[in-house]
Structures are given as C-alpha cells and as structure tokens.
Structure 1
Amino acid sequence: MSGQTAAIIGGGVIGGGWAARFLLMGWDVRVFDPDPEAERKLGAVLDNARRSLPGLSDVALPPEGALTFHDTIPDAVSGAIWIQESVPERLELKREVYRTVQEHCAPDAIIGSSTSGFRPSELQEHAKRPGQILVTHPFNPVYLLPLVELVPSPSTAAETTETAKAILTEIGMYPLHVRAEIDAHIADRFLEAVWREALWLINDGIATTEEIDNAIRYGFGLRWAQMGLFETYRIAGGEAGMRHFIAQFGPALKWPWTKLMDVPDLTDDLITQIADQSDAQSGDYTIRELERMRDDNLVTILRGLKARDAGAGALLNARDRRVEGAVALPDDLSRPIVTVHRAVPLDWTDYNGHMNEARYLQAFGDATDRMMLLIGCDAEYIATGGSFFTAETHIRHLNEVHAGAVIRIETRVLLGEGKKMHLFHRMYEGTRELATGEHMLIHVNLETRRASAPAPHLAEVLAKVAEAHAILPRPDGAGKAVGVKG
C-alpha cells in the first residue's frame, strides 16, 4: 500500500511518531498542527526514526514518502485514506476535529484516534458518519513499537475494522483488536495499575523512581517483552503449567500486598519528590539524548528478539518475508545476483562509529546463505543430509560504512562444479564499493561430516549459474591474498 496518503492531525510526540511510521513505510504524509514549532519538532522525531526504524528490517524499506505541512484540516485530509487524530485528550476538542474532518475527507477513509482513554462510542457521538471513527491507540515511540489497540464500536462496520487491520499490518504494526469498549482499553489499564502501585511505593518511602525502574528493566520487563504475562507465569508453573502456578500462587492475590484499589494524593510534596528523583536518575542527559538512548536499546532488544523469532521479533521476520517474497533465481543470469539489500542497523557499529568488521562477514554470510537458497540448498534439502560448509574466506575492507546506510551485495559464482562452490561478493552503498568477500564452500554429507557431491538437481542449477557468470570479467581482488609490504 506504499504510495498512499495519510493525514496526521496533531503533530506532537504521538502524531509525529505516526507521521514517521507512515512516511518511512512509503506513504505520503500530510500534517496539520497549529503549533508554529510543529515542523521543527516533527523533524526531530523524524530524524530519530530515520536512524532507527530502517535497521529493524533485513530488507530495504520502500522509498520514503513525501511529507507536507498544511494550514488547515480540510487541506491536510485531501486525498487521505487514513486520518490519524492525535490532539490533546479533550473530548469536545476531538469531536470538533471530527466534524471538520468528515466535512472534507473521503467517506471511506479511516479516521483513527490515538486516544489512550476515550471509548470510540464517545468519540463518535454527534458525528456525521459515526462508523468511520475508531480508536487506534499506539505506544511511544510509534515508529518502533508495533502495538496499536484497535477499538471499534457497534457502529463500526466489520469491513472498516478489517481494512484498518490490513493497513496497520502493512506498515509493520500489530493491531490488537479490542472486541469490547472499555475505558483506557487494555494496555493502559495494566500501566495504570503499575503506576498506582509505584506511586504508593514512593509515597511510603519504600523505593525511589530509579529503584522501581530497575525492578522493571532488569527483571520482568525483559520477560514481558517477548512472552507477555500469562505465558511467563505458565512457565513459572513448571511442567505442570498454568494450573499448578495458579494453585501455588493464586491465594497470594487475597493477601494485602498492593494498594491497587487506592492511590495517594498527589500533593505538592509528593510531586516534588517524584520530579527530583527522576531528575537525579536522568542526570545531565537531554530529552533528545534520552530518546536516542531509548531507540538504541529498543533496536537492540527488537533485533535480539528477531534473531530468536520471538515476540515482536517474529512480527519483524514475518514482514521481511512478505516484502522479500518467493525465493527464485532471477531470469537474467548474465549479471551478478543481488543477494542482500538492507540498511545497516545501529547494533552493527563499533567504537569507531562504523560497521564492525565482524558484521562485514555476517553480511557476506547472509549473501552466501541467500545464494544457497537460490540454487536449492534450502531447509528441505538440508533435512535430506546435505549442505555447504565454508572452507575459506577472504574479505577486503575498501570503504567505511555507517549505521543507516543501505547496502547491496552482488554475488557471482566463480566456480560451481563437483563438491565446490566458489563465490565472490561485492558490497555497495549506491555506486560506492565498500568491501569484497571471497568464499570457498564445500558440499558436505551431514551424517559423515565429510565432503560429498551435491544432489544432481542442485549441482545442475549451480553449474548453470556458474556458466552464465563465466562470461563476466574476473572481478578485481578475486584470488587475492593478504598483502604485506616490506
């Protein structure tokens, strides 16, 4: 759906995050925000998104859409098929925005609200087309976190809900369909409960803001990031599972451990105490520095989950597979084959600020794996007992490459006969050559762990590619050893 248009009404922290998400997924984005600083503020959010979001994907994102700012809501919603309202949490203000939007937007456009608390039926009251409005509540930063609570009302047609789900999925988000209207939806009700208890722990002198945050980020927060609540507790029940866990720990729910049904008065003294502790916890970091630290950590966590195909990482892998499509050799074998096309993620850089040398090998290894898939050495083939092992590698580092750079690896088969597959990879950023990788692989019988001939159908495809590539000039650096100058 890239190339479509989204309108963002309200370009603050959440609206700016929505704008960045749509824009980097190839959508044109039209923004309305009366704040004279809106363009500058959204630009700062977009800068953070550009350096972090593309690296979550192992395939290149679509070309960035066009971003425009508009002086009126009617102008902003013109041509938009998705309209995201992110104005302050005042019900009458939101209803006023909808009245203006619906007078000028397409009747079949989706109008989503970022509201964290209002029910869709409240938002729809007095609306010209109530069913057009629904809750699409995201989490900050919108451009990195995939969850969006999708809440329709009885006035919302099933077709509208399904269209909204499809669009949100296409831009890399996970639409959690909240099937019944409830104040604060699902996730914020959890957060509210934790927030209330945290306030009491500070009020009663039990813990500081930093100690509470440490309890979350060094403990159960990491588990929740990839398993959630119930699956975590199921495992805590051991082999007997959830039933045993509830039998063992359920009675504790009747004990007076928490004060979740009450909340301390937010007196000036308590507010000052919380603010002072939070300031001390953050030290001298600016908000932008904290945002960048947050983004760096989230990218690392999400890519770690991606490598394990767990939690939110599984969503990223599924999107990569959708974008990458079917594995097949190109029709034209008279040129090198593009085996990798992706952005360099933040966690691939080292202390020098450029891509770590081990990541060059990883990128070339990914190119080799792709080439193996293209000739038919896939999971099904490997399950029959055959595969290729790398016997020798030589990498030449020609130019620096930094986080966010979109790299492309072009692969040639220099030899494909008998037990050998000789590959030569060239890594580029645009037309700038960054590195070359030369790899000699040997086909192996996985049972004996010794060299063996590949299956005839695989050998035939490999020989076909090698023959097509043989007419190309020998690449510069092929067969080159490490040079030592005297």
Structure 2
Amino acid sequence: MTRTAAIIGGGIIGGGWAARFLLNGWDVRVYDPDPEAERKITEVLVNARRSLPGLTDVALPAEGCLSFGASLAEVVADAELIVEAVPERLDVKRAVYAEIEAANTDGIIASSTSGIMPSDLQAELAYPGRLIVAHPFNPVYLLPLVELVGGAQTDAAHIEKAKGIYSDLGMYPLHCRVEIEGFLSDRLQEALWREALWLLKDEVATAEEIDAAVAYGPGLRWAQMGTMQTFHLAGGEGGMRAMLAMFGPCLKWPWTKLMDVPELTDDFVEMVGDQCDTQAGALSPRDLEVIRDDNLVGIIRSLKAQNWGAGAVAQAHDRRLRAGTVQAARAADLPADQPVLTARRVVPLDWTDYNGHMTESRYLHAFADATDRFMEIIGCDADYIASGGSYFTAETHIRHLDEVHAGARIDITTRVILGEGKKMHLWHEMREGDRLLASGEHFLLHVSLETRKPTPPSEAIAAALVRFAAGHADLPAPEGLGRAIGGPR
C-alpha cells in the first residue's frame, strides 16, 4: 500500500523532504502559498533524481505521486506523516498546527525546526502527543542524519514509529533524548561557525581559507568519524585519556571566542557575503548544488564499501530495498527454466567517464556483482565463504553493445551455460528496458580457500547449480556466446 506524506512549506528543506519521500515510493502532497513553490521543488527534484539513486546498489521503488494542494486542509487530510517546514517563527508554526488539527487528528506532525524546543511547539495543540521534531540536514535527499526530539507531552510511541519511517527512507534517525535548544548537531555546527565569523571579523583569514582549513583536513575525518572518536584516535594507544592528558590544558587557553558573537553590522555582513561570492566565482547556487551532490555520493559510496558511518546506513537501505523481492530470493524460490535476475539498479554518477558513458571497468564491476549475487542464490554466500570455499573467476569476456549513461536503470539477468563439478560458466546480459547494453561471459572454478586450489563445492551448491544448468540448457544459445575478439558482434 502506498504511504502518503504531507509537506507544509516548499523551500529548500520542504523540497528536500519531498524528494526523499517521493523517490522512496511515497505519495507526497505539498502545500505552500508561494506561487513559485512548484518551480522550486521541481528544480530540487532534478538534482535528487540524478544523485540519490546513485547511493544504492538496488533500484529504488517506483516513484510516488507528487501533487500540490490548494489548501493546507486538502493536503494533510488522511496523511500518515505531516512534515512542517515553515519559517522558524513560533507564531507561524503554531498557526499552521491549528490548521492541521482542524483537518487531521491522527498523523504524526514532524517539525523540521533547527532548534525550537518541541515542548514550545506542542504547547497549544489539542493532540500534543503526536508532535515530534525531525530535524534534517541539507540536502535532505542525500544526507542520512535526522534528529528526532520529543517534547514534554510527546508520546514515545510516535518517536519509535518515526524511527522506522526514516530508517525505511535510508536515513539515520538519531534520538536526542534530552530536549535542548539547537539539539545536538546544530549546537556543534554553530560553535564552529561562530569561531569562523570571529576569524573573519578579526581579519585572521578569508572565507576561502577558513573553508580550506576544514575541507582538506578535519572535514575528511568528520565524514567518517565524529569529534570524539577522531580525538580518541589522536591519543594513540592511550586513546582519549592520553589526548586529554596531553592537550587538556590547551582547553583553558583563550584560543577561541565561542561565547561571543561578532556584531553583525551591515559592513561586516557585506564583507562576508562578498568573500563567499568571490569564492563561488562563476558558479551559481545550482552549479554548486550539483558539485556538492556529486561529491556527497562519492564520499558516501566510499564509506559504503567499508560499511562504515553514512555508508553503513546506505548498506542497510539496500537490504531493506531487496527484502521481500526477487533480489533477495534463493535458488529454491526461483524457476530454473528462465534467466535469473541478478541485479536491478541505477548507474551512479561516479561510474561514467570523460565521454559521458559508463567506464569499461564498471561493466566488469556490474557483472562481477551479478556473479556474486548468483553465487549467493545457489548458496555460496558469506557464511559458506567463511567456512572455506568460494568460486574464483578464471576468464571473462565482455561485449560493449550500446552506451550506458549515469542514471540509467539497468537489469542484469544470468544464465548457467555449464554447471558441473568444480566448473561454473555464466552468461550475463545487461539491459535498460528492452535495450541490450552489454553481455558478460564468466568462467569460474570452485576453490578451497585453505589450499587455494580447485575443489568440488558442497552438495547443496552443486545441486542448485545443476538445477539451473539443466533448466537453462533448453533456452536458445545466447548470441555472442564463446565469441573471440574481432569476430562478428
């Protein structure tokens, strides 16, 4: 059953929420009296559609339906989740909540506020238990963190339900257990920003130099580890205790001005704005968003390979997307007389080259993933490999038949040409819809990981492999099977 989210407010955050929900299969209704709201959200969706699918190695579900309501009441009626993303003014938010309650008394109200206390938000509600804060980070459709904060009257069951909702969206729901102004992340961000403003005010550094001091050093560490674990490692074998012993006295030195804010005079604001404009050069905000999104996809995918930090969240999202589909099936669940679906995904941004199409190595990457998936299907999974057996690829031949571009939704199907004893001969075909993009022919041998020599697989794996080999033997021989380089395509 399709789930529905209502979003009140179509700015940067509301648009990001719309994209995150929509691309994960939810229907989304938006209300914003701004006549430009639909255009703004459409532009956010352009960026989200090109970048978010690249975080997953599984195709996202079919996109939900996006609609714009003429009234707030129309949008929130019967919605399971109501996302409030209006300006940071308590009176405005409370007025919105009064309209919501007149039309919907059941859905969770999730405020995107960056720091207003949820107890203040819910103080005038007739049903205060359903209001929570769900504070995201821009771009909402890529960054996984969402801070969940309850107020004095929030029903804990709604926090738990929200954890499930945001996890299913590929996010990391961080429950801030203590209600505090600014929550957790913004308090940390503001401390750094406050010091950056002083460095600008005192003409110690320019905006570009301050950003370089983060982007080329600690920022790269922060992408995978937070402040505490970073300094724990900096203490060497002694960990955080050694770090505090060595550098603790420095914390008493007047290095920073974190308790004060420079006066935001018109001249100072103009100076900061001019430096940031200079730093951006000819790049528009939309240009910078594309660059930002490309970099975030690359960083998160890199972390994904290590199953670490934000990458572990992306891995978990992949598992949820596969669960209950053919992409999680095993041999006994699949017919043996037709090719097996071994991959369904979108080509990510970092898989393309200077010609704008998929790099040669990524064809092999995709087919290798398909081989791994087929191995899993027949029982050669992580547990089996840990017990000492696996298949090693001995020979590969790939035909590049048509161009593949970033964003293409591809399927790979696999046939068993030979499956007997130690040998496994597979034929993969990559398609976008009905268009054949490439084929991959792989010959593998089952090997003992202890001796590194060929050895027969387990009886269960051998039986599953023989079953597919027998079923696929009746299919017409694939065009190009056994082809040598230079022959007819």
What band does the TM-score fall into relative to the shorter chain? Answer: over 0.9
8 Å contact from structure 1 (residues 327, 373) kept in 2: no
Q: What's the offset of the Cα at 1:327? A: 4.7
1:87 and 2:86 are equivalent in the alignment: yes
8 Å contact from structure 2 (residues 170, 316) kept in 1: no
- Compute the RMSD of aligned alpha carbons: 1.2
Within 5 A, what are the aligned runs for 1:54-133?
54-105=53-104, 107-133=105-131
Partner residue, 1:298: 296
Partner residue, 1:408: 411
Q: Which amino acid aligns with 2:137?
A: F
Q: What's the offset of the Cα at 1:320? A: 1.0
2: distance between equivalents of 1:262 and 1:97? Answer: 34
Q: What's the offset of the Cα at 1:314? A: 0.3
Q: Which amino acid aligns with 1:474?
A: A
Q: TM-score, length-normalised on structure 1?
A: 0.97
Q: What's the offset of the Cα at 1:17? A: 0.3
2: distance between equivalents of 1:454 and 1:138? Answer: 48
Label 1:175 to 1:383 Cα distance change in 2 as closer, same or farther (>3 A).
closer
1: distance between equivalents of 2:179 and 2:460? Answer: 57
Partner residue, 1:446: 449
8 Å contact from structure 2 (residues 168, 320) kept in 1: no
Q: Which amino acid aligns with 1:187?
A: S
Q: Which amino acid aligns with 1:115?
A: T
1: distance between equivalents of 2:361 and 2:404? Answer: 13
Q: What's the offset of the Cα at 1:235? A: 0.9
Q: Which amino acid aligns with 2:420?
A: E
2: distance between equivalents of 1:303 and 1:213? Answer: 23
Partner residue, 2:374: 371
Partner residue, 1:149: 147
Q: What do residues 116-172 of structure 1 show as CA deviations (whole Å, max 9, x unaligned)?
A: 120001111211211221111111000001111111012011111111111111111
Select the residue among 330, 334, 345 that pairs with 1:328.
330
Partner residue, 2:211: 213
- Structure 1 unaligned residues grouped into runs of 5+: none
8 Å contact from structure 2 (residues 23, 63) kept in 1: yes
Q: What's the offset of the Cα at 1:397? A: 0.6
User: Aligned pair count?
Assistant: 483
Select the residue among 183, 186, 191 that pairs with 2:181.
183
Partner residue, 1:197: 195
2: distance between equivalents of 1:149 and 1:235? Answer: 26
Q: Structure 1 stretch 268-277 or stretch 33-42: which is displaced more?
A: 268-277
8 Å contact from structure 2 (residues 31, 71) kept in 1: yes
1:480 and 2:483 are equivalent in the alignment: yes
Partner residue, 1:398: 401
Within 5 A, what are the aligned runs for 1:266-277?
266-277=264-275
8 Å contact from structure 1 (residues 393, 438) kept in 2: yes
2: distance between equivalents of 1:377 and 1:313? Answer: 25
Q: Which amino acid aligns with 1:447?
A: E
Q: Secondary structure at the match of 1:182?
A: coil
Within 5 A, what are the aligned runs for 1:427-466?
427-466=430-469
2: distance between equivalents of 1:285 and 1:152? Answer: 40
8 Å contact from structure 2 (residues 198, 261) kept in 1: yes
- Structure 2 unaligned residues grouped into runs of 5+: none
1: distance between equivalents of 2:150 and 2:482? Answer: 63
Q: What's the offset of the Cα at 1:385? A: 2.4
1: distance between equivalents of 2:137 and 2:12? Answer: 10
1: distance between equivalents of 2:313 and 2:198? Answer: 36
Q: Which amino acid aligns with 2:478?
A: P
Q: What's the offset of the Cα at 1:419? A: 1.7
Identity of aligned residues (%): 61
8 Å contact from structure 2 (residues 6, 79) kept in 1: yes
8 Å contact from structure 2 (residues 420, 465) kept in 1: yes
2: distance between equivalents of 1:122 and 1:269? Answer: 35
Q: TM-score, length-normalised on structure 2?
A: 0.97
8 Å contact from structure 2 (residues 169, 317) kept in 1: no
2: distance between equivalents of 1:274 and 1:369? Answer: 52
Within 5 A, what are the aligned runs for 1:15-54?
15-54=14-53
Q: What's the offset of the Cα at 1:205? A: 1.2
Q: Secondary structure at the match of 1:451?
A: coil
Q: Secondary structure at the match of 2:217?
A: helix
8 Å contact from structure 2 (residues 82, 108) kept in 1: yes
1:425 and 2:424 are equivalent in the alignment: no
Q: Which amino acid aligns with 2:364?
A: L
2: distance between equivalents of 1:461 and 1:276? Answer: 66
Q: Which amino acid aligns with 2:279?
A: Q
Partner residue, 2:227: 229
8 Å contact from structure 1 (residues 10, 87) kept in 2: yes
Q: What do residues 309-365 of structure 1 show as CA deviations (whole Å, max 9, x unaligned)?
A: 111000111121122234512331110000011111101011111111110000000
Q: What do residues 238-261 of structure 1 show as CA deviations (whole Å, max 9, x unaligned)?
A: 112111111111111111110111
Within 5 A, what are the aligned runs for 1:235-314?
235-314=233-312
